[in-house]
Amino acid sequence: MPAFLAPHKSGVHRVTAIALYRALLNKCRAAPPPLEASTLQAAVRNTFAKNRHVTSRNALQIGFAGGYEALDYLDSAIAGDESSISHLKSLQARMPAALRTTTTTAPPKSTPTAEAKPAAQPGTALALRPRPAFSLPSRRRIPVLVSANKVPILRFTKPQPAALSHYLKSRIVDRQKRLDRKVALEAHLEIAKGEDEWDRILLAQGVQDEGGSEKGKNPLWSREVYGCYRYTLDAIDAEGLKNKDMAEKMVAIIDKEKELAEIERKERKRLKNEERRKRKAGSSFTDGERKALPSMLQLFL
């Protein structure tokens, strides 16, 4: 391991330490009855937690040597070696109280819940248009009405905002799903009509359906399919009306923006003319000064 690299940032050191830690815990769990497995495991956990920020090479070398020595004693104790068991028992008796207790993790701090954002109301963005002149960063720019795959939008600047792109994508995907559902239901409706015709033929011949329905009271296959088909058509028509209403509102906004832009243009022109007149009045001569100007010039000739 390079000298400039901290031990806890070295992959080799981390793998070795974790392997030793797990091996010690497994051996402590399998310790023979004279030894307290929970106490030994607590000692291993506390020792590793205490030395997890140690960066001294000598201290780490001593710690690893002690860990491997303890692992050898545990292996011998599990195998039934009385000397290893007595040695570990004496160490357990002389173990400090800080190592005996199991460290309990502190309860997680309660994070303050974020305040719920108010739900977006439909039409709120359009209701804020047109904006007043004092809230604009520069001159008023008249928006352009754009049909993005039959979805009306007002384009103020380029490039297009990411939020608007996500909105258009979701609208287009939903509409395409409705159109695909409409095509599929049209095919299912033809099949259902064929099933109804077949049921009428069977009923005309006196054959009762499997459901045991009485004559003239059997449900139509096409009824449920047509209900779904009608619901899909209504959703498509509602979206078209929504787009039309939105486009009309946007056209009204563009008209207002044009009116305000013209008013602001005239106001800028008026202020510019006033400023020009003030500059001209400040630099112009009076009639007496104009008459005295030639005589004043003669003084310098």
For the stretch 23-58, pLDDT in tens is 888 888 888 877 788 888 888 888 888 887 888 888
Is residue 111 one of the residues assigned to a domain? no
Q: Is the pLDDT of residue 168 over 70?
A: yes
For residues 143 and 234, membership in a common domain is answered with yes
Give yes or no: residues 142 and 47 share one domain.
no
H helix or E strand, kind and range, residue 123: none
d(CA 69, CA 76): 11
**Domain ranges, residue 27:** 7-100
Average pLDDT over residues 67-96: 83
Dmax (CA) for the chain in angstroms is 134
Q: Are 230 and 189 in contact (CB under 8 A)?
A: no
pLDDT of residue 97: 76
**Whole-number Cα distances in Å, 126 to 164, 165, 249, 252:** 14, 17, 8, 10
**Are 138 and 80 members of one domain?**
no
- The answer to whether residues 59 and 203 belong to one domain is no
Same domain, 86 and 150: no
Residue 169 lies in a domain: yes
Nearest to 69 by CA among 119, 27, 15, 8: 27
Helical ranges in 121-220 per DSSP H: 124-127, 162-204
* pLDDT tens figures, 255-284: 888 888 888 888 888 888 988 888 888 765
For residue 152, pLDDT beyond 60: yes
* Residue 3 exposure: Cα atoms within 13 Å on the Cβ side: 0
- 117 assigned to some structural domain: no
Domain membership flag for residue 57: yes
Residues 84, 131, single domain; the answer is no
Helices (H), the chain: 11-29, 37-50, 57-79, 82-93, 97-100, 124-127, 162-204, 221-283, 287-298
Nearest-CA neighbor of 193 among 171, 223, 172? 223
> Six-digit token pair at 148?
């993005």
- Residue 208 falls within a domain, yes or no? yes
3-class DSSP state for residue 272?
helix
The per-residue pLDDT for 84 is: 82
Does residue 141 have a pLDDT over 90?
no
Same domain, 200 and 265: yes
Q: Are 65 and 191 in the same domain?
A: no
**Does a structural domain hold residue 296?**
no
Between 175 and 205, whose confidence is greater? 175
Shared domain for 283 and 136, answered yes or no, is yes
pLDDT for the residue numbered 301: 44
DSSP tag of 140: -
For position 299, what pLDDT does the model report? 46
Using CA atoms, how far apart are residues 13 and 111, in angstroms rounded to an integer?
35
Domain boundary among 62, 85, 100: 100
One domain for residues 137 and 275: yes
Name the least confident of 1-10, 47-56, 212-221, 249-258. 212-221
Task: Round to whole Å and give the CA distance between 17 and 11.
Answer: 10
Please tell me the predicted confidence (pLDDT) of residue 208: 65
The conformation of residue 159, written as its DSSP 8-state character, comes to S
Cα 60 to Cα 27, 66, 107, 220, 284: the distances in Å are: 21, 10, 31, 83, 91
Least confident among 109-123, 134-148, 152-166: 109-123
* Domain assignment of residue 116, yes or no: no
Mean of the pLDDT values across residues 77-89?
83
Q: 131 and 64 in one domain?
A: no
Question: d(Cα 140, Cα 131) in Å, to the nearest integer?
Answer: 9
Taking the C-alpha atoms of residue 60 and residue 65, their distance in angstroms, rounded to an integer, is: 8
Regarding whether 42 and 158 lie in a shared domain, the answer is: no
The domain total for the chain is 2
pLDDT of residue 3: 57
pLDDT classification of 108: cutoffs 50, 70, 90: low
pLDDT, mean of residues 150-163: 84
Classify residue 197: in a domain, yes or no: yes
